[in-house]
């Protein structure tokens, strides 16, 4: 049981360090110092930094999937309200961090995907899985006439996630919510605008 908890501590520390220093900048020494854990414990649990980064990414995505399920599966709200709610919660989380950290999926897409084929492949799988509940919510919105059916739900879900990731990158540069708020204003006034009756 002690080995398992040490592994978890190292993963938690790795998440913090990789948010601060990125995939390339995060060294094993930094990670075990953050844990704190003996350096040998890292290699006891992970064969490589690449494998470790994948485990950190999966942990991050597991947390994100819970939020997606909670917000997009909320039957008390309309599909458009659910999409907005998800983006608002993420905005609040980013604000709590002082707009200094973004989304680990986006960060790894920029930094780790060119370095590691394993991580690039995993990120592609994550984006496909991440898109699915958004596409389902959008399809529901289109079915009830709340979202225009000009584009296929999967295309709109891809557009939403890709554009949102871009807004998060700008947010990190500007250290402000404005890129996120601008994205939401424009997206819900154009692409996700309720069709006029």
What's the token pair of residue 49? 């930094």
Instruction: Read off the pLDDT of each residue in 160-183 and give the average, rounded to a whole number.
Output: 96
Contact between residue 67 and residue 83 where contact means Cβ atoms under 8 Å apart: no
Contact between residue 107 and residue 152 where contact means Cβ atoms under 8 Å apart: no
Task: Identify the pLDDT of residue 189.
Answer: 93
pLDDT in tens, 36-86: 888 888 888 898 999 999 999 999 999 999 999 999 999 999 999 999 999
pTM comes to: 0.90
Instruction: Read off the pLDDT of each residue in 16-30 and give the average, rounded to a whole number.
Output: 90
Closest-CA residue to 132 (of 104, 153, 159, 163): 153
Q: Residue 160 burial (CB < 10 Å; 0-12/13-18/19+)?
A: buried
Task: Identify the pLDDT of residue 40.
Answer: 83
Task: Identify the pLDDT of residue 2.
Answer: 46
Of the two residues 97 and 5, the one the predictor is more confident about is 97
Planar angle of CA 115, 123, 78, nearest 5 degrees: 150
Closest-CA residue to 159 (of 195, 118, 123, 190): 190
pLDDT in tens, 104-156: 999 999 998 888 999 999 999 999 999 999 999 999 999 999 999 999 999 99
Contact between residue 94 and residue 52 where contact means Cβ atoms under 8 Å apart: no
Task: Identify the pLDDT of residue 141.
Answer: 96
Closest-CA residue to 170 (of 187, 182, 159): 182
pLDDT of residue 3 exceeding 60: no
Instruction: Report the distance separating Cα 13 and Cα 15, nearest Å.
Output: 5
Instruction: Report the distance separating Cα 197 and Cα 192, nearest Å.
Output: 15
Q: How confident is the model at residue 1 (pLDDT cuts 50, 70, 90)?
A: very low
pLDDT-wise least confident of 3-7, 40-44, 100-104: 3-7
Task: Identify the pLDDT of residue 79.
Answer: 97
Distance between terminal CA atoms of the chain? 61
Contact between residue 29 and residue 39 where contact means Cβ atoms under 8 Å apart: yes
pLDDT of residue 5 exceeding 80: no
Instruction: Report the distance separating Cα 29 and Cα 165, nearest Å.
Output: 30
Assign residue 176 a region: left if phi > 0, alpha if psi is -120 to 50, beta otherwise? beta
Q: Alpha helices, DSSP H only, in 73-177? A: 79-96, 104-111, 117-143, 153-174
Instruction: Report the distance separating Cα 158 and Cα 11, nearest Å.
Output: 29
Instruction: Report the distance separating Cα 153 and Cα 135, nearest Å.
Output: 5
């Amino acid at each position: 049981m002690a080995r398992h908890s040490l592994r978890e501590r190292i993963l938690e520390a790795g998440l913090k360090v990789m948010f601060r220093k990125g995939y390339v900048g995060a060294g094993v020494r930094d990670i075990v110092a953050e844990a704190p854990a003996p350096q040998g414990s890292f290699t006891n649990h992970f064969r490589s930094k690449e494998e470790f980064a994948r485990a950190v990414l999966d942990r991050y995505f597991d947390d994100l999937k819970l939020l997606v399920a909670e917000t997009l599966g909320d039957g008390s709200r309309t599909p458009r309200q659910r999409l907005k709610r998800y983006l608002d919660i993420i905005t609040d989380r980013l604000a709590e961090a002082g707009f200094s950290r973004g989304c680990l999926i986006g960060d790894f897409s920029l930094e780790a995907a060119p370095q590691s084929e394993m991580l690039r492949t995993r990120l592609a799988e994550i984006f496909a899985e991440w898109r699915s509940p958004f596409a389902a919510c959008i399809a529901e919105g289109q079915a009830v006439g709340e979202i225009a059916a000009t584009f296929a739900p999967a295309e709109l879900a891809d557009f939403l996630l890709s554009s949102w990731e871009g807004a998060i990158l700008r947010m990190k540069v500007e250290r402000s919510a404005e890129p996120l708020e601008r994205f939401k204003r424009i997206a819900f006034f154009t692409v996700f605008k309720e069709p006029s009756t």
